[in-house]
Every structure is written in structure tokens, then in C-alpha cells.
Structure 1
Amino acid sequence: MGTAGILGLDIGGANLKAATADGRAASVPFALWKQPDRLPAALAELVAQFPDAAELAVTMTGELCDCFETKRQGVNAILDATEHAAAGRPVRVWGTDGAFHTISESRANHLTVAAANWHALATFAGRFAPYHGGILIDIGSTTSDLIPLDSGLPSTYGLTDWTRLQVRELVYAGVRRTPVFAVYPDRVCAELFATTADVYVVLGLLPENEHDTDTANGRPLTVEHALTRLAHVLGADREELGDDHLIHFATRVHDRLRGQLADAARGVYYDQQQAPELRTAIVSGTGEFLARQVIDRVFGGAPIERTVSLNDELGPTVSACAPAYAVAVLAAEGRA
């Protein structure tokens, strides 16, 4: 089967992503926790954008959505929706054991396939660091993955969200959807008044989008509205606090998040026993700009031979769907 015949799917809680190994990709927002019953139809609509797809390679993270009582229930719901969208086409599901599984195997071993998209991405990214040590820092809209690599293979201590959070290979913060108070809890309102998207739009690190109203108050993602939302986090409004004050606050939030991720990256790599010499850093995701800053802060004195940008390697459209692209490539390469 040609690479175009395999469609990779990354089924998350906020977005559905699809990609082929030959470089076509699509991403659609989908709030799974609000409308789990619509997942089969939404997946089918996404798959329909790739009419030459003859096989599906799947990874997921949406099983943790609070519309599901357990991960087992979430995995099974996602697998049900996948079978509906596949319409009889073969389906393979990536697991954290580094292999693909059938639907029935995935149901029987749900924790192996739950939240496995980071592992698929790290397995794919390992080709850019085939020798010595490497680290992948993938910063998305909601979470950040910090994955050590050893001779091209993920070298991890955690395989579930629970264990990965403990060893800090998963930091549940990103550059768009994270509430500001979760990053910067000091003398602020612990209310969803603003998110990190507001911080990075104000700082000019993410673009404005007047059509994006998936914000804390439902108003557009523009600098003007973002400043208003940030003022509310401080228990104030823009009549009380000037723009300079709010921009300075955004800078402090950014510094705090960068510091948290730097501490996690340092621990992930250097707390390993006999960590291999670090030669390659790989950065990816919507927050690649932040990943680069983390690399510079933590590993600036290390003998890093190169920093690889998946945005540059794959292009921005495919990179935004990187785990879906990863499973498509891995399936095309005949991974078991």
C-alpha cells in the first residue's frame, strides 16, 4: 500500500487531527467533553477529507475527558467512533509499547493505547537523533511533553499520564488553553478569566485571530480583548490598570511558565541514571517558540550539535498535526 493510502488520526479532547505520510494534513476543533455523542460523525467528516484513505493508523488523548467516568470507557468510546469512521477499513492503534494494535487488542489493553500520541511523536522524532542522547520538547495548546531520547528511542520512566506527571515528562500546561491562574497563582483571581493564549497574543508570540472566540469570555482573540481578560485576572479592569502594567504581567506569566518547563526539562534529562551525552534537541508544537527558550535556558552549555525544528522539517500545517503524521509514517514503514 502506498503512503497516501494510510491516514493517521490523532483523537484529542479539544482537536481532531489527520495526516498522511505524503504531507497532507487537516485539523478541526472538537470539544469532545461537550459533545461525545458527536465524535463518530465528526471523525467520519474528517476522514472524508481524505477519500484515498484505505487504512487508519490511530493515536489518542481524548480518553481523559471528563465526559468519561474512566479511561477504559473513554478508550472504548474513541475506538467505537474510529470503527464508525473507518467504515470497514483496517485500523491500527499505536501503543506506548512502541507497536500497533488491533481494535480488539486495544480494548483488552486500554492503558497501552490511552494517551499514546506523545510516544508516537517521540518514536518518529527519534530519527533526527539516531546517536547519543536527545530530547524532544513538544509544547502544544494544552500540555507539554518533554521526552528524553537514547540513540533514537524514547527513554522514558512514565507511560501513563499519571506516571508521566510524576516524573515531569508531562507538564499539563500549554500556550493556549491553560488558565493564567494555574501558571501564576500569586495574588490573582482563581477564575477562568484569561488563558495563556491571551498572554502570548499580548506578547506578540502568537497571532491575533478575530474569528477565534474560544476564549475565557467568548470575545475574540485580539490584543485588545486579551488585555481586558488579563486585567480581570488581577481583579481589575483597564480603567484601573494601564496597558504597560498588563503587558508586564503577561511577561511575568511567560517567565513563570518558561521556568516551570525548564525545571521539568532539567529533571527529565539530568535526573536519569547514566543519561547519554546530549547531542540533539528537537522542538515542536504550537509553542515551539517557548520550547526553543527552554532549550537555551537548560541546555545552553551542553554540547548540542543541532536543534531540529519539526515546524521547519514538516511545514507548519503538518507539524500542527505531528502525532497524526507520526502514526501515518510509522504505519507506512511497516512498524508492527
Structure 2
Amino acid sequence: MNKKKSQKLYLGWDVGGAHTKLSVIKPNSSSFHIYRCHLWESLDLLSKLVNSVCSKYNKRFIIINVITMSGEMSDIFKSRDQGVKDILNIFKSRGDENYVFSSKKPFFFKPKAITNTKSVSSMNWLATAKFLETCVNNAIAVDIGSTTTDIIIIKNGVCKNMGYDDFSRLSRSELIYTGILRTPLFAVTNQVINSKHRFPVIPEYFSNMSDIYRIMSDIDSRKDYSNSCDHRGKTYMNSLVRFARSLGFDYQPQHERKLKNLAKEIKLIQKSFIMEKIIATMENNFLKKEKINLIGLGIGSFLVREICHKTKLAYKDFNTFYNGNANKLFLPSDIAPAYSISMLLKFKNEQN
């Protein structure tokens, strides 16, 4: 066998409904990627992506795919159960070595061994938790993505989350449907007040939170990977136009300062909402005297950092658990579940 072909390549896949995140772990290097892949449009998009990535590497490496997901809830599937099966079938159709992350020990299974898809469905948050169990003792990890926020509790080196599926996690505020790109403004607030004036927010998909953070210069344009609501450019000016439309008027240059102030208020509303959930989680799981870190993950990790600054909590970046080159567009914190499963399986195989 060719020497290079004898080397193993770990591909960690986190298949979401809107985006698929990929961790590529080579023997001596790594890379991290986020692909726009709208499952609700066609499952062929995921199939083409998987084939393209695997074909790129299969002549040089033994490919080991490791899969977690949340995209099974996409409305292209008749049920979550069918969604898990259809997503896994895309990987099974190839001749690569495939493993699925499950909530059941020993956590990694061949796809054909999965008899209960509930142990796989939307378990990407748990993949991150299992990785963090190997890194920290007491911490709350907050993964703020494009659409959702995951709160993960690690106490004495063990994940203490009470919820597992979406329903139970939502009811316990361990899963919050708010993110910094795709979340529509009206899901954050129905009005914003500035200088004693009330501005109702129209409940229509005219703009989303990416416009707010674009106006606030909080997101790197290279990481701004979601579509705009009107499918026009993701510029500062276009965001002002979309934001004004959500408030019921057409943008004019004299509105710029007002809109920037209103954007600041909406950001504060979302940040305060997330902060309240974090503080409640902390109070419910830790004593005041216990030292804990708040770990920031996802494209919205900057909000976690800001929350720590306001509350005087200790902030820890997820990327401190990565020893590779940090001068990359996307880092492990941007794709934590995909990175976590690729590293966990690699560690496990190297120990055997």
C-alpha cells in the first residue's frame, strides 16, 4: 500500500439544516470549514458536498468520517427518525470508514449499529460536552451560532445538563433559539425604544440579526456565511436599508445615526437575554464560592466575552484547547461539535 494512503484522515461532520461544518484532522495539520448547505432545498446538496470532500482526500488518506447532526429536523424529512437515516445513508453509500456520534456509550458506532435514532438526533451539543469533559473541571460553555445558543454545564469534569433532546433542552433553557446571523429581529423583540421614542419591529422577514451585528461591526465579513433576507449584498449600507424596512420606513442618509443607536439597543436586548440564561444556569448548578470559567464558542463567542466583561466572570476561549495554527479563518471554536468528534475518535483510536 502507498505510504501516504496508510495515513488516517479524520473528517468530523456536523450536519445542520442550514450549514454543514467540517473538521479535517490530518496526521500533521488540520483545517476547519463551514459550508452553506440548505437541506430543506435538496438533500442532493449534502450528497454532493460529502462526495466532493471525500474525493479530494481518498487517494492520499484512509478516510474516517465521524458524524453528528441537527439537520434531521429539517422539514424536507417527514420525521427526525427519517432525517437521521437519510443523512447517514449519504455516508453509507460511500466506501469510507464511517462512525456516528451517539449519546449511548461508547459514543461512537458504525451507522448500521444505530437502532435508536434518538441517540443520534441533535446530539451535536453533547459531542462538545464530551470533549470538554477531557479539558475542564468546572465550566459553562456557551455556543452562540447563526441560529441557536447551546448552554453546556461541566461540573467536576462531568456534563450535568438535564435535557438531551430538543424538547427537554428548550424547556430547561439549555437550548435557546437565538443566534447572531439567521434569527429574525422580531424573534428578539417586538419593539425598540430610543430617546423615549418607541419603534415597533414589523414581524416580517425583512432583516435578521446579522444586519444588526453588521451595523455594529461585530462580525468578520469572511465569517458572515448566512444569506441576507432580501438576498442582496451583506454590506453595512444594505444592512441599514433592511433594518429600516423592519421598522417601517425607507432608509435615508439622515437615518444612519438613529439606526446605529437602535441596532445597539437590539444587540443589548439579545445579549441581556442570553446573559440572564447563563446566570440562572450558574446559580442553579454552582455555589458562589466555586471558581468556574465561561467558555465562548461559535461565531457569537464575542458576546460571551462581552458578558464576562460585564459580569466580571472568567472567560476562556475554546481555542485554547487547540494546539495547531491559530492563523486561520475558521478555528475549532467556530465548529466545536465537528472538531470535538474528530478529536475524540482520534484519541480513542490512538489509545487502542
TM-score (norm 1): 0.89
Pick from 154, 160, 176 the counterpart of residue 165 of structure 2: 160
1:317 aligns with 2:322: no
- Give the aligned length: 326
For structure 2, the residue ranges without an aligned partner over 5 or more in a row are 192-199
In structure 2, C-alpha distance between the alignment counterparts of 1:256 and 1:2, rounded to whole Å: 53
Q: Secondary structure at the match of 1:334?
A: helix
Q: Which moved more, 1:13-22 or 1:307-316?
A: 307-316
Q: Which moved more, 1:133-142 or 1:318-327?
A: 318-327
Contact 1:10 1:18 (C-alpha < 8 Å) held by counterparts: yes
Give the direction of change, closer, same or farther, for the CA distance of 1:278–1:97 in structure 2 (3 Å limit): farther
Contact 1:212 1:220 (C-alpha < 8 Å) held by counterparts: no
- Cα offset, 1:257, TM superposition: 0.6
Q: Which residue of 2 aligns with 1:27?
A: 34
1:134 aligns with 2:139: yes
1:230 aligns with 2:243: yes
- Cα offset, 1:275, TM superposition: 9.1
Q: Which residue of 1 aligns with 2:194?
A: none
Pick from 81, 95, 104 the counterpart of residue 88 of structure 1: 95
- Cα offset, 1:38, TM superposition: 3.3
Q: Which residue of 2 aligns with 1:172?
A: 177
Contact 1:209 1:222 (C-alpha < 8 Å) held by counterparts: no
Q: Secondary structure at the match of 2:34?
A: strand
In structure 1, C-alpha distance between the alignment counterparts of 2:267 and 2:21, rounded to whole Å: 27
In structure 2, C-alpha distance between the alignment counterparts of 1:19 and 1:122, rounded to whole Å: 17
In structure 2, C-alpha distance between the alignment counterparts of 1:141 and 1:287, rounded to whole Å: 8
1:214 aligns with 2:219: no
In structure 2, C-alpha distance between the alignment counterparts of 1:165 and 1:59, rounded to whole Å: 19
Contact 1:91 1:102 (C-alpha < 8 Å) held by counterparts: yes
Q: Which residue of 2 aligns with 1:65?
A: 74
Structure 1 counterpart of 2:305, one-letter code: R
1:257 aligns with 2:262: no
Contact 1:57 1:91 (C-alpha < 8 Å) held by counterparts: yes
Contact 1:57 1:92 (C-alpha < 8 Å) held by counterparts: yes
Give the direction of change, closer, same or farther, for the CA distance of 1:269–1:69 in structure 2 (3 Å limit): farther
Q: Secondary structure at the match of 1:48?
A: helix
- Cα offset, 1:180, TM superposition: 1.0
Q: If you compute each CA radius of gyration, which structure gives the higher value, 1 or 2?
A: 2
In structure 2, C-alpha distance between the alignment counterparts of 1:109 and 1:147, rounded to whole Å: 24
Q: Secondary structure at the match of 1:5?
A: strand
Contact 1:2 1:332 (C-alpha < 8 Å) held by counterparts: no
TM-score (norm 2): 0.85
Give the direction of change, closer, same or farther, for the CA distance of 1:210–1:142 in structure 2 (3 Å limit): closer
Q: Which residue of 2 aligns with 1:247?
A: 260
- Cα offset, 1:96, TM superposition: 2.6
Structure 1 counterpart of 2:279, one-letter code: R
In structure 2, C-alpha distance between the alignment counterparts of 1:128 and 1:173, rounded to whole Å: 27
Q: How big is the alpha-carbon RMSD for the aligned residues of Structure 1 and Structure 2?
A: 2.6
Pick from 104, 110, 114 the counterpart of residue 102 of structure 1: 110
Q: Which residue of 1 aligns with 2:187?
A: 182
- Cα offset, 1:181, TM superposition: 1.0
- Cα offset, 1:280, TM superposition: 2.1
Contact 1:60 1:116 (C-alpha < 8 Å) held by counterparts: yes
Structure 2 counterpart of 1:286, one-letter code: I
In structure 1, C-alpha distance between the alignment counterparts of 2:253 and 2:237, rounded to whole Å: 15
Structure 2 counterpart of 1:172, one-letter code: Y
- Cα offset, 1:325, TM superposition: 1.4
Give the direction of change, closer, same or farther, for the CA distance of 1:50–1:153 in structure 2 (3 Å limit): farther
Give the direction of change, closer, same or farther, for the CA distance of 1:297–1:69 in structure 2 (3 Å limit): farther
Q: Which moved more, 1:211-220 or 1:197-206?
A: 211-220
1:10 aligns with 2:18: no
Give the direction of change, closer, same or farther, for the CA distance of 1:323–1:48 in structure 2 (3 Å limit): farther
Q: Which residue of 2 aligns with 1:271?
A: 284
In structure 1, C-alpha distance between the alignment counterparts of 2:34 and 2:62, rounded to whole Å: 16
Q: Which residue of 1 aligns with 2:306?
A: 293
- Cα offset, 1:273, TM superposition: 7.7
In structure 2, C-alpha distance between the alignment counterparts of 1:117 and 1:210, rounded to whole Å: 21
Q: Which residue of 2 aligns with 1:282?
A: 295
Q: Deviations over 1:22-65 (max 9, x none)?
A: 42223221111111243222221133333324211111110111
Q: Which residue of 2 aligns with 1:330?
A: 344
